[in-house]
Amino acid sequence: MVGGDSVSKGDRVMVISGQLAKKGHEVITIDGQSNLGKAVQLMSKKNIGALVVVDKQGELQGMLAEREIISALASHGPSALSAPIRNWMRRDAPTVTPDTSVKDAMATMTSARARHLPVLDHGRIVGVLSVGDLLKSRLEEKTQENLILMDVARWPRAAQA
């Protein structure tokens, strides 16, 4: 594997490890016992749209995203901010591994209606990717493909000249 790309049958497949190499491995976590208000403050301070919820041992318990916060506030009003995160977090948060292809990660996000994916390597949280991170990756990939196709299209004319 070179630069986060895996070569399979001549095709370059972009994988999650490559995205983490570009983005970084920082993961902002919060304990499920913390209250929703603390989570909102942390998300605002870090300018992020989701938090990875972990237990005391650092094991993944779920995800808390803007969607869950809106739902909590809509159903319980401001009093929701004093409730524990575990009451609102998404427990069935989909995950990927560093070897997952970007295409498969996007499919997982779509089918699970998730905007953030924790990346687990042998059960350890090694990163988080957002839908924006993956869209940026796909755009870079398609831009590179376009440049290659433009070069190929010009090649026969350059060879004839």
pLDDT digits (tens), the chain, 161 positions: 334 444 343 446 789 999 899 888 999 999 999 999 999 999 999 999 999 999 999 999 999 999 999 999 999 999 999 999 999 999 999 999 999 999 999 999 999 999 999 999 999 999 999 998 888 877 777 777 777 777 777 776 655 65
Instruction: Say which CATH number the domain at 127 has.
Output: 3.10.580.10
Tokens for 82, please give them.
């004093």
In whole angstroms, give the CA distance from residue 88 to residue 58.
Answer: 19
- How many structural domains are present in the chain? 1
In whole angstroms, give the CA distance from residue 153 to residue 161.
Answer: 14
In whole angstroms, give the CA distance from residue 90 to residue 76.
Answer: 17
Name the residue range of residue 48's domain. Answer: 5-160
3-state secondary structure of 79: helix
Which pTM value belongs to this model? 0.78
